[in-house]
Structure 1
């Protein structure tokens, strides 16, 4: 009998860590995490989990990790969480005006939010497709909705999330023919109390700033509730549909 396994990629984010903790609390679940920094996962509670270090997110490194996962034929992955995301860092901040747009910053954000998740999907597909239903979650954002954009700004971040949404829509069309067991979910976690949102929490209502634990719990329930239907879904933390 194969084991039902959860795979968390980019597992050093606050939400990814919260997901991992909730997964291992389920005695029927097995966990694989992929991250550049494995320090959080050196705790005894993850002693029965498979912790995989990756040096970078170049496609060659992604291929090596996926190959290692695929070598264990007993593993049957039922849910995947691709948790990559970049909004700001020491040199990048979201643009308020067009004049602040930078090709270099946009390229870095696009790589993290769009290209890297799709490279994971590309390389994972051969080991995910089959009879086992598998839900794949890619972290997106409501600001990636083109029709919902009423205030503008944040050019690079918005564009990178809109781009990953479009790619997921296209992948879902292909998977409906070639990997019918895979369900794709583009997920908006809401404003979560993490380093990513920290500089932008000032005007967030208190009841709209979520803990990572809350978001992880909501997301696991959303994944459980959604059926494999050959379509990509763009959902928020409540499980409500967001317009593409």
Structure 2
């Protein structure tokens, strides 16, 4: 089972505890002073996509590079050498794409990525957390009944879908800033976490899928809590949640049988819609949960 988890979960192995958000205050000493030379060097802005080796994450990287000819993108994943899609993009956007190793279940790799980004770029204008798991053959399957709920599945989904993104925010937050030639019209930096409509408690009418639902609900609460702290600190950072719809990716493919054709989106369509939301984010969007079409989703 352990070997299969390594293959299918992209290296998500050890359980990690959530560090209280108030500790972010201490980490603010990690902040930097950006020089005008640095701002000019990265005049197209610097974006980071976590979970970028395939699916929606890879498509975010592709569209960010294609839509902003001056923008720089940092793509992170567990195994950069095996990320063929990213390596293809690297051949095309040699100077503007930087691929880093990051495993959301190993906080040391998150810390190392943050140090690398600080040393090379000095700041980030955009952070997208795109990684997530729904099923792993012989390890994790969506539960159609309470009798199929297992502690190991709940903990694994929570670790990857909720704990991982919040730890990434913890270490990248000191780097997020407005300006620096962001290449957008935004007056705020943006943290965007990919959630799912099934994580909404108010919208839950069908039940089931206990591990995936609850892990996304946890992500929603953690993101909302971060947004409150950002407001209290008056940082010019907006933290939002995004539901991409049902997208034709490896994650959803085993469960597409009953999805109407008009409700099954391509990666290109979904990411285009999500980037529109991100690029038009305003200060009053902080802490909100949006569907791909811009409509707010109830908690």
TM-score (norm 1): 0.94
Q: Which residue of structure 1 lines up, in the alignment, with residue 71 of structure 2?
A: 29
Q: C-alpha offsets along residues 191-237 of structure 1, whole Å, 9 cap, x if unaligned?
A: 00001111111111111100111111111111011212372110011
Q: How does 1:31-70 map to 2 (within 5 A)?
A: 31-38=73-80, 39=83, 40-43=85-88, 44-48=91-95, 49-54=97-102, 57-70=105-118
Q: Which moved more, 1:15-24 or 1:52-61?
A: 52-61
CA contact (8 A) 2:52 2:77 kept: yes
Among candidates 37, 46, 57, match of residue 5 of structure 1: 46
Determine the structure 1 residue equivalent to 2:26. none
Displacement of 1:37 after TM fit? 2.8
Deviation sequence 1:170-200 (CA, Å, 0-9, x none): 1111011225211111111100000111111
The superposition leaves residues 74-116 of structure 1 with CA deviations (integer Å, 9 ceiling, x where unpaired) of 4442211101111101121100111100001111110010000
Alignment partner, residue 55 of structure 2:
14
Q: Which moved more, 1:116-125 or 1:19-28?
A: 19-28
Q: Which residue of 1 aligns with 2:19?
A: none
Quick one: distance in 1 between partners of 2:151 and 2:69?
Answer: 47
Quick one: which of 62, 82, 91 aligns to 2:129?
A: 82
1:207-222 map, 5 Å: 207-222=262-277
d(CA) in 1 for partners of 2:100, 2:257: 36
1:97 equivalent to 2:145? Answer yes
* Alignment gaps of 5+ in structure 1: none
Structure 1 residues 237 and 130: CA distance shift in structure 2, 3 A: closer
The structure where strand makes up a greater share of residues is: 1
The CA deviation at 1:36 is 1.6
State the TM-score, normalized to the length of structure 2. Answer: 0.77
Q: Number of aligned pairs?
A: 243
| Structure 2 counterpart SS, 1:71 | helix
Residue aligned with 2:132, SS = coil
Max Rg structure: 2
Contact 1:7 1:31 (C-alpha < 8 Å) held by counterparts: yes
* Partner SS, residue 283 of structure 2: coil
Equivalent residue of 1:114, what SS? helix
The one of 147, 155, 160 equivalent to 1:112 is 160
Query: Could you give the per-residue CA deviations for residues 15-49 of structure 1, whole angstroms, max 9, x where no partner exists?
Result: 11111111111213111111123232222113121
CA contact (8 A) 1:8 1:83 kept: yes
In structure 2, the CA distance between the partners of 1:68 and 1:217, relative to structure 1 (3 Å rule), is same
